[in-house]
Structure 1
Amino acid sequence: MKAYVFPGQGAQFSGMGKDLYDSSEQAKALFEKANEVLGFRITDIMFNGTADELKQTNVTQPAVFLHAVIGAITLGADFKPAMVAGHSLGEFSALVAAGAMSFEDGLRLVAIRANAMQKACEAAPSTMAAVLGLEDEVVERICEETPGVVVAANYNCPGQLVISGEVAAVEKACENLKAAGAKRALILPVGGAFHSPMMEPARAELAEAIEKTNIQNPICPVYQNVVAKGVTEAAEIKQNLISQLTGAVKWTQSVRQMIADGATHFTEIGPGAVLTGLVKKIDKEVTTENL
Protein backbone atom coordinates (compact mmCIF):
# COMPACT_ATOMS: atom_id res chain seq x y z
CA MET A 1 0.00 0.00 0.00
CA LYS A 2 1.30 3.42 -1.00
CA ALA A 3 1.47 6.31 1.44
CA TYR A 4 2.35 9.82 0.33
CA VAL A 5 3.85 12.30 2.79
CA PHE A 6 4.29 16.07 2.50
CA PRO A 7 6.98 18.17 4.23
CA GLY A 8 6.63 21.24 6.43
CA GLN A 9 8.45 24.50 7.01
CA GLY A 10 12.23 24.27 6.80
CA ALA A 11 12.39 22.20 3.60
CA GLN A 12 12.60 25.28 1.35
CA PHE A 13 15.60 26.02 -0.90
CA SER A 14 16.41 28.51 -3.65
CA GLY A 15 15.33 27.14 -7.03
CA MET A 16 12.53 25.01 -5.55
CA GLY A 17 9.78 24.12 -8.01
CA LYS A 18 11.55 25.57 -11.07
CA ASP A 19 11.95 22.17 -12.73
CA LEU A 20 8.18 21.63 -12.37
CA TYR A 21 7.41 25.08 -13.79
CA ASP A 22 9.71 24.57 -16.78
CA SER A 23 8.68 20.99 -17.62
CA SER A 24 4.88 21.08 -17.25
CA GLU A 25 2.29 23.48 -18.68
CA GLN A 26 -0.13 22.35 -15.97
CA ALA A 27 2.42 23.17 -13.25
CA LYS A 28 3.20 26.54 -14.86
CA ALA A 29 -0.51 27.46 -14.87
CA LEU A 30 -0.86 26.49 -11.19
CA PHE A 31 2.20 28.52 -10.17
CA GLU A 32 0.84 31.55 -12.04
CA LYS A 33 -2.56 31.05 -10.36
CA ALA A 34 -0.71 31.05 -7.02
CA ASN A 35 0.99 34.37 -7.86
CA GLU A 36 -2.49 35.77 -8.56
CA VAL A 37 -4.06 34.40 -5.36
CA LEU A 38 -1.20 35.62 -3.13
CA GLY A 39 -0.93 39.04 -4.77
CA PHE A 40 2.83 38.83 -5.33
CA ARG A 41 5.14 36.73 -7.53
CA ILE A 42 6.14 34.04 -5.09
CA THR A 43 7.66 32.13 -8.02
CA ASP A 44 10.36 34.81 -8.39
CA ILE A 45 11.44 34.20 -4.78
CA MET A 46 11.13 30.40 -5.02
CA PHE A 47 13.21 30.19 -8.18
CA ASN A 48 15.77 32.96 -7.58
CA GLY A 49 15.42 34.21 -4.00
CA THR A 50 18.10 34.18 -1.31
CA ALA A 51 17.90 31.92 1.73
CA ASP A 52 16.89 34.94 3.83
CA GLU A 53 14.07 35.87 1.42
CA LEU A 54 12.81 32.29 1.47
CA LYS A 55 12.84 32.31 5.30
CA GLN A 56 10.13 34.98 5.51
CA THR A 57 7.06 33.26 6.95
CA ASN A 58 4.70 34.70 4.34
CA VAL A 59 6.96 33.13 1.67
CA THR A 60 8.18 29.92 3.29
CA GLN A 61 4.86 28.28 4.04
CA PRO A 62 3.15 28.95 0.67
CA ALA A 63 6.39 28.02 -1.16
CA VAL A 64 6.69 24.60 0.49
CA PHE A 65 2.94 24.02 0.02
CA LEU A 66 3.10 24.91 -3.69
CA HIS A 67 6.11 22.74 -4.44
CA ALA A 68 4.47 19.74 -2.77
CA VAL A 69 0.91 20.14 -4.04
CA ILE A 70 1.84 20.95 -7.63
CA GLY A 71 4.22 17.99 -7.57
CA ALA A 72 1.32 15.73 -6.59
CA ILE A 73 -1.16 17.22 -9.08
CA THR A 74 1.24 16.84 -12.01
CA LEU A 75 1.57 13.11 -11.30
CA GLY A 76 -1.95 12.84 -12.70
CA ALA A 77 -3.22 9.26 -12.88
CA ASP A 78 0.01 8.02 -11.29
CA PHE A 79 -1.02 9.62 -7.98
CA LYS A 80 -2.95 6.78 -6.35
CA PRO A 81 -2.54 7.11 -2.59
CA ALA A 82 -3.88 4.54 -0.15
CA MET A 83 -3.24 7.15 2.56
CA VAL A 84 -1.59 10.56 2.98
CA ALA A 85 -0.05 12.63 5.78
CA GLY A 86 1.82 15.91 6.13
CA HIS A 87 4.14 17.27 8.80
CA SER A 88 2.62 20.46 10.30
CA LEU A 89 2.19 22.79 7.28
CA GLY A 90 2.41 19.65 5.11
CA GLU A 91 -1.01 18.56 6.35
CA PHE A 92 -2.55 21.27 4.16
CA SER A 93 -0.64 19.89 1.15
CA ALA A 94 -1.87 16.38 1.99
CA LEU A 95 -5.49 17.55 2.21
CA VAL A 96 -5.37 19.31 -1.17
CA ALA A 97 -3.60 16.35 -2.81
CA ALA A 98 -6.28 14.01 -1.40
CA GLY A 99 -9.11 16.19 -2.77
CA ALA A 100 -10.41 17.43 0.60
CA MET A 101 -10.07 21.06 -0.51
CA SER A 102 -9.31 23.00 -3.65
CA PHE A 103 -5.85 24.22 -4.62
CA GLU A 104 -6.91 27.86 -4.23
CA ASP A 105 -8.59 27.31 -0.83
CA GLY A 106 -5.58 25.40 0.47
CA LEU A 107 -3.23 28.17 -0.64
CA ARG A 108 -5.40 30.88 0.94
CA LEU A 109 -5.50 29.01 4.25
CA VAL A 110 -1.73 28.51 4.21
CA ALA A 111 -1.21 32.24 3.60
CA ILE A 112 -3.61 33.14 6.45
CA ARG A 113 -1.87 30.57 8.70
CA ALA A 114 1.59 32.00 7.94
CA ASN A 115 0.55 35.56 8.70
CA ALA A 116 -1.36 34.59 11.85
CA MET A 117 1.63 32.63 13.14
CA GLN A 118 3.94 35.57 12.44
CA LYS A 119 1.68 37.89 14.45
CA ALA A 120 1.53 35.41 17.35
CA CYS A 121 5.35 35.15 17.33
CA GLU A 122 5.69 38.93 17.51
CA ALA A 123 3.12 39.23 20.32
CA ALA A 124 5.08 37.19 22.89
CA PRO A 125 8.72 35.98 23.01
CA SER A 126 8.74 32.23 22.54
CA THR A 127 10.93 29.50 21.07
CA MET A 128 11.46 25.79 20.39
CA ALA A 129 14.25 23.31 21.17
CA ALA A 130 15.29 19.95 19.73
CA VAL A 131 15.77 17.16 22.26
CA LEU A 132 17.77 14.06 21.30
CA GLY A 133 18.27 10.77 23.08
CA LEU A 134 15.43 10.63 25.59
CA GLU A 135 12.20 8.65 25.75
CA ASP A 136 9.08 10.67 24.89
CA GLU A 137 7.62 10.04 28.35
CA VAL A 138 10.68 11.54 30.07
CA VAL A 139 10.51 14.67 27.91
CA GLU A 140 6.77 15.02 28.57
CA ARG A 141 7.27 14.64 32.35
CA ILE A 142 10.06 17.24 32.50
CA CYS A 143 7.97 19.70 30.46
CA GLU A 144 5.08 19.21 32.89
CA GLU A 145 7.36 19.77 35.89
CA THR A 146 8.97 22.93 34.45
CA PRO A 147 7.31 26.23 35.49
CA GLY A 148 5.79 28.30 32.68
CA VAL A 149 4.54 27.23 29.24
CA VAL A 150 6.60 24.41 27.67
CA VAL A 151 5.19 21.36 25.89
CA ALA A 152 6.24 18.49 23.62
CA ALA A 153 5.46 19.86 20.15
CA ASN A 154 6.90 17.59 17.44
CA TYR A 155 7.29 13.83 17.88
CA ASN A 156 9.60 13.42 14.86
CA CYS A 157 11.01 9.92 15.39
CA PRO A 158 12.11 7.79 18.37
CA GLY A 159 14.65 9.76 20.38
CA GLN A 160 13.99 13.01 18.51
CA LEU A 161 11.42 15.37 19.95
CA VAL A 162 10.95 19.14 19.74
CA ILE A 163 9.66 21.15 22.70
CA SER A 164 7.96 24.54 22.43
CA GLY A 165 6.89 27.41 24.67
CA GLU A 166 7.97 30.53 26.55
CA VAL A 167 11.68 31.34 26.19
CA ALA A 168 12.51 31.04 29.89
CA ALA A 169 10.50 27.82 30.29
CA VAL A 170 12.12 26.18 27.23
CA GLU A 171 15.61 27.17 28.46
CA LYS A 172 14.91 25.75 31.94
CA ALA A 173 13.45 22.56 30.43
CA CYS A 174 16.62 22.16 28.30
CA GLU A 175 18.76 22.31 31.47
CA ASN A 176 16.57 19.70 33.14
CA LEU A 177 16.53 17.47 30.05
CA LYS A 178 20.32 17.50 29.82
CA ALA A 179 20.49 16.61 33.51
CA ALA A 180 18.11 13.70 32.78
CA GLY A 181 20.49 12.33 30.14
CA ALA A 182 19.51 14.00 26.86
CA LYS A 183 22.31 13.80 24.27
CA ARG A 184 21.30 17.28 23.14
CA ALA A 185 18.75 19.91 24.09
CA LEU A 186 19.32 22.70 21.62
CA ILE A 187 17.38 25.94 21.13
CA LEU A 188 16.27 26.18 17.48
CA PRO A 189 16.55 29.30 15.29
CA VAL A 190 12.78 29.72 14.88
CA GLY A 191 10.52 32.74 15.23
CA GLY A 192 8.27 31.36 17.93
CA ALA A 193 6.65 28.48 19.79
CA PHE A 194 4.77 26.58 17.09
CA HIS A 195 2.41 23.78 18.15
CA SER A 196 2.07 25.11 21.69
CA PRO A 197 -0.49 27.18 23.65
CA MET A 198 1.54 30.26 22.59
CA MET A 199 -0.11 29.93 19.15
CA GLU A 200 -3.64 30.41 20.53
CA PRO A 201 -4.14 33.85 18.85
CA ALA A 202 -3.13 32.32 15.50
CA ARG A 203 -5.38 29.30 16.07
CA ALA A 204 -8.39 31.54 16.68
CA GLU A 205 -7.70 33.53 13.49
CA LEU A 206 -7.14 30.42 11.37
CA ALA A 207 -10.20 28.69 12.83
CA GLU A 208 -12.45 31.40 11.43
CA ALA A 209 -10.98 30.92 7.94
CA ILE A 210 -11.17 27.11 8.13
CA GLU A 211 -14.82 27.23 9.22
CA LYS A 212 -15.65 29.23 6.07
CA THR A 213 -13.71 26.88 3.76
CA ASN A 214 -15.40 24.11 1.80
CA ILE A 215 -13.77 20.89 3.00
CA GLN A 216 -14.94 17.58 1.51
CA ASN A 217 -14.33 13.93 2.30
CA PRO A 218 -10.90 13.01 0.86
CA ILE A 219 -10.21 10.21 -1.66
CA CYS A 220 -8.24 8.32 1.02
CA PRO A 221 -7.59 8.55 4.77
CA VAL A 222 -5.58 11.60 5.88
CA TYR A 223 -3.45 10.84 8.94
CA GLN A 224 -3.73 14.10 10.83
CA ASN A 225 -1.05 15.39 13.20
CA VAL A 226 -3.11 15.87 16.33
CA VAL A 227 -4.84 12.46 16.32
CA ALA A 228 -2.24 10.26 14.53
CA LYS A 229 -4.91 8.21 12.76
CA GLY A 230 -6.60 8.11 9.37
CA VAL A 231 -9.52 10.55 9.05
CA THR A 232 -12.06 10.54 6.19
CA GLU A 233 -14.90 12.73 7.49
CA ALA A 234 -14.80 16.39 6.44
CA ALA A 235 -16.18 17.72 9.76
CA GLU A 236 -13.52 15.85 11.76
CA ILE A 237 -10.79 17.00 9.36
CA LYS A 238 -11.83 20.62 9.99
CA GLN A 239 -11.68 20.28 13.77
CA ASN A 240 -8.29 18.54 13.70
CA LEU A 241 -6.91 21.21 11.37
CA ILE A 242 -8.07 23.94 13.77
CA SER A 243 -6.47 22.10 16.73
CA GLN A 244 -3.18 21.64 14.89
CA LEU A 245 -1.61 25.06 15.55
CA THR A 246 -1.69 24.60 19.33
CA GLY A 247 -1.52 20.78 19.32
CA ALA A 248 1.46 18.46 18.89
CA VAL A 249 2.66 17.03 15.58
CA LYS A 250 2.48 13.30 16.33
CA TRP A 251 4.61 12.22 13.39
CA THR A 252 6.11 9.08 14.96
CA GLN A 253 2.67 7.92 16.04
CA SER A 254 1.14 8.74 12.62
CA VAL A 255 3.76 6.79 10.66
CA ARG A 256 3.46 3.81 13.01
CA GLN A 257 -0.31 3.85 12.55
CA MET A 258 0.01 4.08 8.76
CA ILE A 259 2.30 1.03 8.80
CA ALA A 260 -0.09 -0.81 11.12
CA ASP A 261 -2.88 0.01 8.64
CA GLY A 262 -0.91 -1.53 5.75
CA ALA A 263 1.48 1.11 4.38
CA THR A 264 4.59 -0.52 2.87
CA HIS A 265 5.86 2.24 0.57
CA PHE A 266 6.29 5.91 1.53
CA THR A 267 6.76 8.61 -1.12
CA GLU A 268 7.68 12.15 -0.08
CA ILE A 269 6.49 14.85 -2.47
CA GLY A 270 7.96 18.34 -2.21
CA PRO A 271 11.27 19.94 -1.31
CA GLY A 272 13.88 17.97 0.63
CA ALA A 273 13.94 14.45 2.03
CA VAL A 274 13.42 15.08 5.76
CA LEU A 275 10.28 12.97 6.14
CA THR A 276 11.59 9.86 4.37
CA GLY A 277 14.60 10.07 6.70
CA LEU A 278 12.28 10.17 9.71
CA VAL A 279 10.15 7.30 8.32
CA LYS A 280 13.29 5.13 8.03
CA LYS A 281 14.19 5.93 11.64
CA ILE A 282 10.69 4.89 12.70
CA ASP A 283 10.71 1.65 10.66
CA LYS A 284 13.74 0.46 8.66
CA GLU A 285 11.70 -2.15 6.76
CA VAL A 286 9.49 0.15 4.71
CA THR A 287 10.43 1.37 1.24
CA THR A 288 10.87 5.13 0.75
CA GLU A 289 11.37 7.45 -2.22
CA ASN A 290 11.34 11.18 -2.96
CA LEU A 291 9.67 13.01 -5.84
Structure 2
Amino acid sequence: MRCLFQLFQTKNIMGVKNKTQVTVFEFSGLTDDKLVALFLFLLFLMVYIVAVLGNIGMMAMVHISPSLHTPMYYLLRYLSMVDLFYSSVVTPKMLSDLLSERKLITFMGCTLQFYFFCALAGTEILVLSVMAYDRYVAICHPLHYVSVMTNKKCLSLVILSFFIGFVQSVAQTSSLFSLEFCDSNLIDHFYCDIPPLARLSCSKIHTCTIVTLFFGGSCCLSSMTIILVSYIFIMNSVLRINSASGRRKAFSTCSSHVICSTIFYVAVVCAYYHPSSSTLKTQEKVSSVFYTVVTPMLNPLIYSLRNQEVKKNIIRLLQKRSHSHI
Protein backbone atom coordinates (compact mmCIF):
# COMPACT_ATOMS: atom_id res chain seq x y z
CA MET A 1 0.00 0.00 0.00
CA ARG A 2 1.50 3.31 -1.09
CA CYS A 3 0.30 5.17 1.99
CA LEU A 4 2.12 2.72 4.27
CA PHE A 5 5.34 3.02 2.27
CA GLN A 6 5.19 6.82 2.64
CA LEU A 7 4.47 6.46 6.35
CA PHE A 8 7.55 4.26 6.68
CA GLN A 9 9.70 6.89 4.99
CA THR A 10 8.33 9.55 7.37
CA LYS A 11 9.03 7.41 10.45
CA ASN A 12 12.64 6.95 9.41
CA ILE A 13 13.12 10.74 9.52
CA MET A 14 11.32 11.33 12.81
CA GLY A 15 13.08 10.94 16.11
CA VAL A 16 11.57 8.88 18.91
CA LYS A 17 9.71 11.18 21.30
CA ASN A 18 8.16 10.65 24.70
CA LYS A 19 8.26 6.94 25.58
CA THR A 20 5.10 6.81 27.70
CA GLN A 21 2.93 4.12 26.07
CA VAL A 22 -0.67 5.09 25.25
CA THR A 23 -3.31 3.07 27.15
CA VAL A 24 -6.45 4.76 25.80
CA PHE A 25 -7.14 5.95 22.25
CA GLU A 26 -9.64 8.57 21.14
CA PHE A 27 -11.31 8.57 17.72
CA SER A 28 -11.82 11.76 15.74
CA GLY A 29 -15.02 10.17 14.42
CA LEU A 30 -16.99 10.99 11.31
CA THR A 31 -18.06 14.54 12.21
CA ASP A 32 -18.00 17.15 14.98
CA ASP A 33 -21.36 18.64 13.98
CA LYS A 34 -24.05 17.37 16.40
CA LEU A 35 -26.89 17.65 13.91
CA VAL A 36 -24.93 15.79 11.24
CA ALA A 37 -23.91 13.22 13.86
CA LEU A 38 -27.56 12.65 14.79
CA PHE A 39 -28.51 12.24 11.13
CA LEU A 40 -25.66 9.77 10.58
CA PHE A 41 -26.63 7.87 13.73
CA LEU A 42 -30.21 7.37 12.49
CA LEU A 43 -29.02 6.51 8.98
CA PHE A 44 -26.40 3.97 10.03
CA LEU A 45 -28.66 2.52 12.73
CA MET A 46 -31.19 1.75 10.00
CA VAL A 47 -28.44 0.33 7.78
CA TYR A 48 -27.16 -1.86 10.62
CA ILE A 49 -30.65 -3.16 11.47
CA VAL A 50 -31.23 -4.04 7.80
CA ALA A 51 -27.82 -5.75 7.65
CA VAL A 52 -28.51 -7.84 10.77
CA LEU A 53 -32.06 -8.79 9.73
CA GLY A 54 -31.02 -9.39 6.11
CA ASN A 55 -28.11 -11.68 6.94
CA ILE A 56 -29.98 -13.60 9.65
CA GLY A 57 -32.94 -13.90 7.27
CA MET A 58 -30.72 -15.19 4.48
CA MET A 59 -29.15 -17.82 6.75
CA ALA A 60 -32.56 -18.91 8.02
CA MET A 61 -34.07 -19.08 4.53
CA VAL A 62 -31.22 -21.21 3.17
CA HIS A 63 -31.54 -23.51 6.18
CA ILE A 64 -35.31 -24.08 5.95
CA SER A 65 -35.77 -24.10 2.14
CA PRO A 66 -35.01 -27.52 0.57
CA SER A 67 -34.63 -25.96 -2.89
CA LEU A 68 -31.69 -23.89 -1.58
CA HIS A 69 -29.76 -26.88 -0.22
CA THR A 70 -27.11 -26.60 -2.93
CA PRO A 71 -23.40 -25.67 -2.72
CA MET A 72 -24.03 -22.12 -4.01
CA TYR A 73 -26.48 -21.29 -1.22
CA TYR A 74 -24.51 -23.28 1.33
CA LEU A 75 -21.63 -20.87 0.68
CA LEU A 76 -24.01 -17.90 0.64
CA ARG A 77 -25.14 -18.85 4.14
CA TYR A 78 -21.56 -18.62 5.39
CA LEU A 79 -21.03 -15.31 3.56
CA SER A 80 -24.08 -13.97 5.42
CA MET A 81 -22.67 -15.24 8.71
CA VAL A 82 -19.35 -13.49 8.06
CA ASP A 83 -21.19 -10.27 7.09
CA LEU A 84 -23.27 -10.42 10.27
CA PHE A 85 -20.21 -10.58 12.53
CA TYR A 86 -18.14 -8.31 10.29
CA SER A 87 -20.65 -5.45 10.51
CA SER A 88 -20.97 -5.94 14.28
CA VAL A 89 -17.25 -5.42 14.92
CA VAL A 90 -17.27 -1.73 13.93
CA THR A 91 -20.84 -0.44 13.59
CA PRO A 92 -22.14 -0.60 17.22
CA LYS A 93 -19.09 1.29 18.50
CA MET A 94 -19.40 3.82 15.67
CA LEU A 95 -23.10 4.37 16.49
CA SER A 96 -22.26 4.88 20.17
CA ASP A 97 -19.50 7.36 19.31
CA LEU A 98 -21.83 9.43 17.11
CA LEU A 99 -23.81 10.29 20.26
CA SER A 100 -20.77 10.70 22.54
CA GLU A 101 -18.76 13.80 23.34
CA ARG A 102 -15.52 11.80 23.60
CA LYS A 103 -14.99 8.71 21.50
CA LEU A 104 -12.67 6.61 23.66
CA ILE A 105 -11.44 3.03 23.32
CA THR A 106 -8.90 1.20 25.45
CA PHE A 107 -5.68 -0.18 24.00
CA MET A 108 -6.99 -3.75 24.47
CA GLY A 109 -10.36 -2.81 23.01
CA CYS A 110 -8.64 -1.33 19.96
CA THR A 111 -6.52 -4.47 19.59
CA LEU A 112 -9.56 -6.77 19.72
CA GLN A 113 -11.56 -4.59 17.32
CA PHE A 114 -8.76 -4.59 14.78
CA TYR A 115 -8.12 -8.33 15.18
CA PHE A 116 -11.71 -9.39 14.50
CA PHE A 117 -12.15 -6.75 11.78
CA CYS A 118 -9.02 -7.94 9.97
CA ALA A 119 -9.88 -11.64 10.47
CA LEU A 120 -13.44 -11.32 9.19
CA ALA A 121 -12.45 -9.05 6.27
CA GLY A 122 -9.86 -11.64 5.23
CA THR A 123 -12.41 -14.44 5.62
CA GLU A 124 -14.97 -12.56 3.51
CA ILE A 125 -12.43 -12.08 0.73
CA LEU A 126 -11.63 -15.79 0.73
CA VAL A 127 -15.28 -16.92 0.89
CA LEU A 128 -16.00 -14.71 -2.14
CA SER A 129 -13.20 -16.48 -4.02
CA VAL A 130 -14.62 -19.90 -3.02
CA MET A 131 -18.01 -18.79 -4.35
CA ALA A 132 -16.35 -17.80 -7.66
CA TYR A 133 -14.79 -21.29 -7.87
CA ASP A 134 -18.24 -22.79 -7.21
CA ARG A 135 -19.72 -20.82 -10.15
CA TYR A 136 -16.80 -21.92 -12.34
CA VAL A 137 -17.46 -25.60 -11.63
CA ALA A 138 -21.24 -25.19 -12.05
CA ILE A 139 -21.00 -23.50 -15.47
CA CYS A 140 -17.81 -24.94 -16.96
CA HIS A 141 -18.20 -28.51 -15.64
CA PRO A 142 -21.95 -28.95 -15.03
CA LEU A 143 -21.89 -32.75 -15.34
CA HIS A 144 -19.29 -33.04 -12.57
CA TYR A 145 -20.71 -30.28 -10.36
CA VAL A 146 -22.42 -32.56 -7.84
CA SER A 147 -19.41 -34.84 -7.49
CA VAL A 148 -16.89 -31.96 -7.24
CA MET A 149 -18.76 -29.51 -4.98
CA THR A 150 -19.80 -31.95 -2.27
CA ASN A 151 -20.96 -30.77 1.16
CA LYS A 152 -17.70 -32.06 2.63
CA LYS A 153 -15.62 -30.10 0.13
CA CYS A 154 -17.67 -26.93 0.65
CA LEU A 155 -17.26 -27.21 4.42
CA SER A 156 -13.51 -27.81 4.03
CA LEU A 157 -13.14 -24.71 1.83
CA VAL A 158 -15.13 -22.58 4.29
CA ILE A 159 -13.08 -23.84 7.26
CA LEU A 160 -9.87 -23.14 5.32
CA SER A 161 -11.11 -19.59 4.58
CA PHE A 162 -11.81 -18.96 8.27
CA PHE A 163 -8.48 -20.49 9.29
CA ILE A 164 -6.44 -18.37 6.88
CA GLY A 165 -8.46 -15.25 7.72
CA PHE A 166 -7.92 -15.54 11.47
CA VAL A 167 -4.27 -16.66 11.24
CA GLN A 168 -3.25 -13.77 8.98
CA SER A 169 -5.03 -11.43 11.38
CA VAL A 170 -2.87 -12.70 14.25
CA ALA A 171 0.24 -11.72 12.30
CA GLN A 172 -1.06 -8.27 11.31
CA THR A 173 -2.43 -7.49 14.79
CA SER A 174 0.80 -8.57 16.50
CA SER A 175 2.96 -6.44 14.22
CA LEU A 176 0.69 -3.38 14.47
CA PHE A 177 0.20 -3.36 18.25
CA SER A 178 3.85 -4.12 19.01
CA LEU A 179 4.51 -0.54 17.83
CA GLU A 180 4.96 2.21 20.40
CA PHE A 181 2.22 4.84 20.61
CA CYS A 182 3.74 7.59 22.72
CA ASP A 183 3.12 10.90 20.96
CA SER A 184 -0.66 11.25 20.61
CA ASN A 185 -3.66 9.04 21.31
CA LEU A 186 -6.01 10.65 18.74
CA ILE A 187 -6.89 8.21 15.94
CA ASP A 188 -8.05 10.21 12.93
CA HIS A 189 -10.71 7.65 12.03
CA PHE A 190 -13.88 6.06 13.44
CA TYR A 191 -12.36 2.63 14.17
CA CYS A 192 -8.96 1.03 14.70
CA ASP A 193 -7.25 0.47 11.36
CA ILE A 194 -3.68 0.24 10.09
CA PRO A 195 -3.07 3.62 8.34
CA PRO A 196 -4.33 5.92 11.16
CA LEU A 197 -2.62 3.81 13.85
CA ALA A 198 0.63 3.73 11.87
CA ARG A 199 0.52 7.53 11.65
CA LEU A 200 0.34 7.68 15.46
CA SER A 201 3.30 5.40 16.09
CA CYS A 202 6.54 6.94 17.34
CA SER A 203 8.58 3.86 16.41
CA LYS A 204 9.73 2.56 13.03
CA ILE A 205 6.99 0.73 11.14
CA HIS A 206 9.19 -1.18 8.67
CA THR A 207 8.27 -4.64 10.01
CA CYS A 208 4.59 -3.72 10.32
CA THR A 209 4.57 -2.49 6.71
CA ILE A 210 6.15 -5.70 5.40
CA VAL A 211 3.76 -7.92 7.40
CA THR A 212 0.74 -5.89 6.28
CA LEU A 213 1.76 -5.90 2.62
CA PHE A 214 2.58 -9.62 2.68
CA PHE A 215 -0.52 -10.96 4.43
CA GLY A 216 -3.03 -8.33 3.28
CA GLY A 217 -1.66 -8.32 -0.25
CA SER A 218 -1.51 -12.12 -0.43
CA CYS A 219 -5.15 -12.50 0.64
CA CYS A 220 -6.40 -9.81 -1.74
CA LEU A 221 -4.28 -10.81 -4.74
CA SER A 222 -4.94 -14.54 -4.39
CA SER A 223 -8.68 -13.95 -4.02
CA MET A 224 -8.82 -11.51 -6.93
CA THR A 225 -6.81 -13.91 -9.10
CA ILE A 226 -9.17 -16.80 -8.34
CA ILE A 227 -12.22 -14.63 -9.06
CA LEU A 228 -10.82 -13.16 -12.30
CA VAL A 229 -9.55 -16.49 -13.65
CA SER A 230 -12.83 -18.21 -12.75
CA TYR A 231 -14.85 -15.58 -14.61
CA ILE A 232 -12.58 -15.67 -17.64
CA PHE A 233 -13.35 -19.40 -17.98
CA ILE A 234 -17.03 -18.74 -17.18
CA MET A 235 -17.30 -16.05 -19.88
CA ASN A 236 -15.63 -18.38 -22.37
CA SER A 237 -18.10 -21.17 -21.57
CA VAL A 238 -21.18 -18.92 -21.55
CA LEU A 239 -20.34 -17.41 -24.95
CA ARG A 240 -20.32 -20.93 -26.41
CA ILE A 241 -23.94 -21.48 -25.39
CA ASN A 242 -26.10 -21.25 -28.50
CA SER A 243 -29.42 -20.14 -26.99
CA ALA A 244 -29.86 -16.58 -25.68
CA SER A 245 -32.02 -17.87 -22.81
CA GLY A 246 -29.26 -20.28 -21.79
CA ARG A 247 -26.71 -17.47 -21.74
CA ARG A 248 -29.03 -15.26 -19.68
CA LYS A 249 -29.63 -18.06 -17.20
CA ALA A 250 -25.88 -18.71 -16.83
CA PHE A 251 -25.12 -15.01 -16.37
CA SER A 252 -27.96 -14.58 -13.85
CA THR A 253 -26.44 -17.20 -11.54
CA CYS A 254 -23.19 -15.17 -11.47
CA SER A 255 -24.45 -11.58 -11.48
CA SER A 256 -25.11 -11.33 -7.73
CA HIS A 257 -21.65 -12.62 -6.87
CA VAL A 258 -19.99 -10.31 -9.42
CA ILE A 259 -21.79 -7.24 -8.02
CA CYS A 260 -21.00 -8.11 -4.37
CA SER A 261 -17.34 -8.82 -5.12
CA THR A 262 -16.94 -5.66 -7.22
CA ILE A 263 -18.50 -3.39 -4.58
CA PHE A 264 -16.31 -4.84 -1.84
CA TYR A 265 -13.04 -4.61 -3.77
CA VAL A 266 -13.70 -1.12 -5.14
CA ALA A 267 -14.37 0.15 -1.60
CA VAL A 268 -11.22 -1.54 -0.26
CA VAL A 269 -9.05 -0.15 -3.06
CA CYS A 270 -10.42 3.37 -2.52
CA ALA A 271 -9.77 3.11 1.24
CA TYR A 272 -6.22 1.73 1.16
CA TYR A 273 -4.56 2.05 -2.23
CA HIS A 274 -3.95 5.76 -2.48
CA PRO A 275 -1.10 8.17 -1.68
CA SER A 276 -0.84 9.26 1.93
CA SER A 277 -2.32 12.77 1.94
CA SER A 278 -4.40 14.80 4.36
CA THR A 279 -6.75 15.76 1.52
CA LEU A 280 -7.61 12.09 1.04
CA LYS A 281 -8.47 11.32 4.69
CA THR A 282 -12.15 12.14 4.05
CA GLN A 283 -12.16 9.74 1.09
CA GLU A 284 -10.55 7.12 3.32
CA LYS A 285 -13.33 7.46 5.89
CA VAL A 286 -16.12 7.41 3.30
CA SER A 287 -14.68 4.30 1.65
CA SER A 288 -14.24 2.66 5.05
CA VAL A 289 -17.87 3.38 5.96
CA PHE A 290 -18.92 1.78 2.72
CA TYR A 291 -17.13 -1.54 3.13
CA THR A 292 -17.50 -1.84 6.92
CA VAL A 293 -21.11 -0.71 7.30
CA VAL A 294 -22.89 -0.61 3.95
CA THR A 295 -21.49 -3.69 2.17
CA PRO A 296 -22.73 -6.22 4.80
CA MET A 297 -26.22 -4.78 4.25
CA LEU A 298 -26.00 -4.85 0.44
CA ASN A 299 -24.92 -8.49 0.04
CA PRO A 300 -28.18 -10.13 1.22
CA LEU A 301 -30.23 -7.46 -0.57
CA ILE A 302 -28.42 -8.02 -3.87
CA TYR A 303 -28.85 -11.80 -3.65
CA SER A 304 -32.51 -11.33 -2.72
CA LEU A 305 -33.29 -8.93 -5.58
CA ARG A 306 -31.21 -10.44 -8.39
CA ASN A 307 -31.42 -14.17 -7.69
CA GLN A 308 -34.64 -15.75 -9.00
CA GLU A 309 -34.44 -18.79 -6.72
CA VAL A 310 -34.04 -16.63 -3.63
CA LYS A 311 -36.94 -14.38 -4.71
CA LYS A 312 -39.17 -17.41 -5.26
CA ASN A 313 -38.40 -18.72 -1.79
CA ILE A 314 -39.01 -15.31 -0.19
CA ILE A 315 -42.41 -15.10 -1.91
CA ARG A 316 -43.22 -18.69 -0.91
CA LEU A 317 -42.31 -18.04 2.73
CA LEU A 318 -44.35 -14.81 2.79
CA GLN A 319 -47.36 -16.61 1.30
CA LYS A 320 -47.09 -19.38 3.90
CA ARG A 321 -46.89 -16.77 6.64
CA SER A 322 -49.95 -14.89 5.33
CA HIS A 323 -51.97 -18.12 5.04
CA SER A 324 -51.04 -19.09 8.60
CA HIS A 325 -52.55 -15.82 9.89
CA ILE A 326 -55.84 -16.30 8.03
Query: TM class, shorter-chain normalised?
Result: under 0.3
Provide TM-score, normalisation by structure 2. Answer: 0.24
Q: From the CA coordinates, give the structure whose radius of gyration is larger.
A: 2
Q: Which has the larger share of helix?
A: 2
